[in-house]
A and B are shown apart, each in its own frame.
Chain A
Amino acid sequence: MAEPILRPFPRAAAFTESVPDAPARLGLGLRPALLGVLVLALVIVFGVSLALGSVSIPLQQIITVLLGGEAERASWTNIILKFRLPKALTAALAGAALSVSGLMMQTLFRNPLASSDVLGINSGASLGVALVVLSAGTVGTTVLAGIGLAGDVSLVLASIVGAALTLGLILLIARQVENSLTLLILGLMIGQLTFALVSLLLYFSIPERIQAFVNWGFGSFNGVTWDQVPSLALPILIGLGMALLLSKSLNALLLGETYARSLGMDTRRARLAIIITTAILTGAVTAFCGPIAFIGIAVPHLCRSLFNSSDHRALVPGVILMGATVALIAALIAEVPGSGLILPLNAIMALFGAPVVIWVILRQRNLQRAFAA
């Protein structure tokens, strides 16, 4: 071993002077080049998802419409502005929200398989939604149809509260059991429990509402109207902003709570902030798009592999961009462009997400040890 060169501990000024030609930066934190690539990918996929669908619209026409012009055919303007644009926005926001939730859960629980859907937080949100929808007076064919702004807001709030309560419950139990496998089983059980409650609610409901609720359960980015976009976008944008603010705390939590505390972090406050942020993100998405699985667990892993890092200062923005892109791609596939079919979104998510999860498990071999690889 080479003899370590030990110097007296430098004072701030003296030390900078002792390094005459500044060495190359360590390159920790933000990774501008990779983030640029992700932004570009998102823009392209966003454009493509506006272009493709039951009818294909040339890219040039889309740009014209987006810039406020009129397309060659009036129906194209209509399709883009009334259907595809809100759908694409919904998909991008939902994908970003669920992926960032997954990232925060994986770090907080130090568990590679943690995410909103695995831990049953989606189910908690579903219960909130079920309570509102099934008790509401409206009888529509979809959950979201015609409940008005007050209805939208109460739906989102119920969903967020449901998510927060579930998450709080899980965290409470997680403090008693360190074992990550136990935690996953717990999440499954809580999911089952809320599902049972939802089933009971459904049992006493009328067929139309049941059908509406079942369709909602398949997950979909369709059906969010322009009127509803603010109710979806506002909480998600707030949640994403909070997640960006939490990057530094999330990094410290990589070392576990005891170390994080020794680094001067208020772990109780950070934990609470992470729970609230996750609940807002998951709750808002679940209210409008249904309980969407797999994206939250898969995207953080893909992003870590791409960045080859666990540094949240790069991961959080990276996961936001990649989550939005992946959700748009999944929505595109579910549309089966040119066919007029719409497949259940969750089926598509599982088809592509499950292999990623299997890959994570196989690559880590020991699930107990590695939580963030």
Chain B
Amino acid sequence: MRSPILEAQGIAIGYAGARPPSVTVAQGIDVRLLAGEMVCLIGPNGAGKSTLMRTLAGMQPPLTGTITINGTPLAALTANARARSLGVVLTERPNVGMLSGYGLVALGRHPYTDWTGRLSPHDEAVIRWAVEAVGAQDIAARPVMELSDGQRQKLMIARALAQEPQVILLDEPTAFLDLPRRVEIMQLLQRLAHETGRTVLLSTHELDLALRTADRIWLLSGGVLASGAPEDLVLSGAFETAFRSEGVIFDRHTGAFKVNAEGVGKIYVRNMGEDGVAAVWTRRALERAGFAISPDADSATITVQILERMGGTIWRLQAGELASEHRSLQGLIASLTSEI
């Protein structure tokens, strides 16, 4: 059993206002982060993800309870000691002017250098290692100003790595990035956790990516935090419960959100094709167009039959008296919407 690096016991998070009634965002949070694992914090907007991240990073105190790093209370650590064990990557993207990539990453050595900020050969070696670890060797010599959002984000992660922390906290590291960059950053963080033994905690809106890459998920919703393996949370229905209040439906089968929650009509898709691919995409197309899919033929009022004929796919539509055949899903949907 690995020992916890960061541990929160019975903490309540929120804001202690100027006047007594402080705003509690969530309470009764008992969590621990182990060495070498990647944990994704997800939850609906306004559930308190950022507040929890800020609290764990020691940027704001918990309302109650204690947070410890390696057994030492976070509040008892000096700022410098905290910086050596905890690195953060925030949502804000600071403009660092004419700093080069290496110059930016070098700022991570702040807790280790003397008052002059002079970098020893060891400091420089760690900087090189951090840049290499995020795969940014080819961009690190360039001014940060000229880099893209994704490249900058890699350097910000390298900067946190250069602090040689045991835990890296990242607040929405994939926001503002395009899909390939988001996948790349998530894979990078996963490998950092697994191969270097660092602990990575990140908050994200990328439910799908989180489900596929995280070792564990923290699901924060309605002031309560549920923790577990991604699949466990899916099977226990925790996701559906968490996001139901938001008016979106989490589909347990696909691990994704359904766009059209309430479909009209009841369509049964009968698959006569070679493999199931056509049926899968037919169901998707029908759902997208706003129809509900029925699991069996008996409760359905409409049947769509998929036939492989003459090397092509034919969709045969049967709705009561009406029957028609279509050579494309577009045609099928057009016919359905005009008749129902």
Q: Which of B6-14, B81-89, B240-248, B307-315 contacts A (4 or more CB under 8 A)?
A: B81-89
> Knowing A3-B135, A6-B195, A370-B97 touch, does A266 contact B188 (C-beta < 8 A)?
no
A7 touches B110 (CB 8 A): no
Q: Name the segment of B113-121, B221-229, B259-267, B273-281 touching the other chain.
A: B113-121
A6/B192 in contact, CB under 8 A:
yes
Are B119 and A372 neighbours in the complex by a CB distance under 8 Å? no
Closest to A312 in B: B117
Contact of B133 among A6, A25, A309 (CB under 8 A): A6
Q: Which residue of A lies closest to B92 (CB)?
A: A256
**Segment 44-93 of A: residues with Cβ below 8 Å from B:** none
Residues of the A chain whose Cβ atoms lie less than 8 Å from the Cβ of B324 = none
| Distance in Å: Cβ of B319 to nearest Cβ of chain A | 50
**Proximity bits, A1-19, B CB within 8 Å = 1, else 0:** 1111111111010011001
| Contact present for A248 and B191 (CB under 8 Å) | no
Tell me whether A6 and B196 are in contact in the complex, defined as CB-CB below 8 angstroms, given that A247-B117, A256-B92, A304-B98 are known contacts: yes
- Whether the pair B117, A254 counts as a contact (CB closer than 8 A) is no
A307–B143 alpha-carbon span in the complex (Å)? 12
Q: Is the CB of B117 within 8 A of A26?
A: no
**Can you list, as one digit per residue, whether each of B73-114 has a CB less than 8 Å from chain A (1) or not (0)?**
000001111111011101010111111101100111011010
Query: Are A263 and B103 within 8 A (Cβ)?
Result: no
Q: Are A264 and B122 in contact (CB under 8 A)?
A: no
**Quick one: which of A7, A10, A110, A255 has the most chain B CB within 10 A?**
A255
Looking at B17-25, B124-132, B231-239, B295-303, the stretch in contact with chain A turns out to be B124-132
A147 CB within 8 Å of chain B: no
> How big is chain A's contact interface, by range?
35 or more
Asked whether A373 is an interface residue with its Cβ less than 8 Å from the other chain, the reply is yes
In the complex, whether A29 has a CB less than 8 A from a CB of chain B is: yes
Chain B interface residue count: which class? Answer: 35 or more
B59 part of interface (Cβ distance < 8 Å)? yes
Complex: A286 Cα to B5 Cα, angstroms: 54
Query: With the chains together, A199 CA to B134 CA distance in Å?
Result: 60
Task: Return chain B residues, CB-CB under 8 Å to A304.
Answer: 97-98
Question: How far does the alpha carbon of A373 sit from the alpha carbon of B192 in the complex, in Å?
Answer: 32
- Nearest Cβ distance between residue B308 and chain A, in whole angstroms? 40
Taking A254-B99, A262-B83, A264-B82 as contacts, is the C-beta distance between A26 and B106 under 8 angstroms? Answer: yes
Task: Enumerate chain A residues within 8 angstroms of B164, measured Cβ to Cβ.
Answer: 9
B198 at the interface (CB under 8 A from A): yes
Closest chain B CB from A241 CB (angstroms): 12
Distance, CA A95 to CA B81, complexed state (A):
39
A248 near B59 (CB under 8 angstroms)? Answer: no
In the bound complex, CA of A143 to CA of B338 (Å):
91
- Nearest residue (CB) in B for A18 is B125
Question: What is the chain B residue whose CB lies nearest that of A1?
Answer: B135
The reply on A179 being an interface residue by CB < 8 A is no
A261 touches B79 (CB 8 A): yes
**What separation, in Å, do the CA atoms of A307 and B102 have in the docked complex?**
15
Q: Is B333 close to A, CB under 8 A? A: no
How near does chain B come to A335, taking the closest CB pair, in angstroms? 34
A105 to chain B, nearest CB (A): 14
- In the assembled complex, the CB of B139 is this many whole angstroms from the nearest CB of chain A, namely 11
Answer whether A26 and B59 are a contact pair too, CB < 8 Å, given A248-B116, A371-B95: no
- A309–B97 Cα distance when bound, in Å, is 8
* A209 interfacial contact with B, CB 8 Å: no
Contact A4 B92 (CB under 8 A): no
The answer to whether A373 and B98 have CB atoms under 8 Å apart is yes
Residues from chain B with a CB closer than 8 A to the CB of A110 are 94-95
B79 touching A311, Cβ below 8 Å: no
Flag whether A259 is at the interface (Cβ < 8 A): yes
Query: What residues of A have a CB within 8 angstroms of the CB of B117 in the complex?
Result: 29, 247-248, 251, 313
Q: How far is the CA of A274 from the CA of B135 in the complex (A)?
A: 37
Say yes or no: B124 contacts A26, CB within 8 Å: yes
**Which of A5, A258, A264 counts the most chain B CB atoms within 10 A?**
A264
Q: Which B175-194 residues have a C-beta within 8 angstroms of A?
A: 184, 188, 191-192
* Chain B residues with CB under 8 A of A200: none
Contact check, A8 vs B88: say whether CB atoms are below 8 A apart.
no
Enumerate the 7 nearest inter-chain pairs by beta-carbon distance, A residue then B residue, closest first: A372-B97, A264-B83, A248-B117, A4-B135, A310-B97, A264-B80, A263-B110
Supplied contacts A261-B79, A310-B98, A372-B96, 15 more A-B pairs, CB within 8 Å = A1-B184, A9-B196, A9-B197, A26-B127, A29-B119, A110-B94, A245-B115, A262-B88, A263-B83, A263-B163, A264-B78, A264-B84, A310-B97, A310-B103, A311-B103
Residues of chain B at the chain A interface (Cβ within 8 Å):
57, 59, 78-84, 86-88, 90, 92, 94-100, 102-103, 106-108, 110-111, 113, 115-119, 121-122, 124-129, 132-135, 143, 145, 163-164, 184, 188, 191-192, 195-198
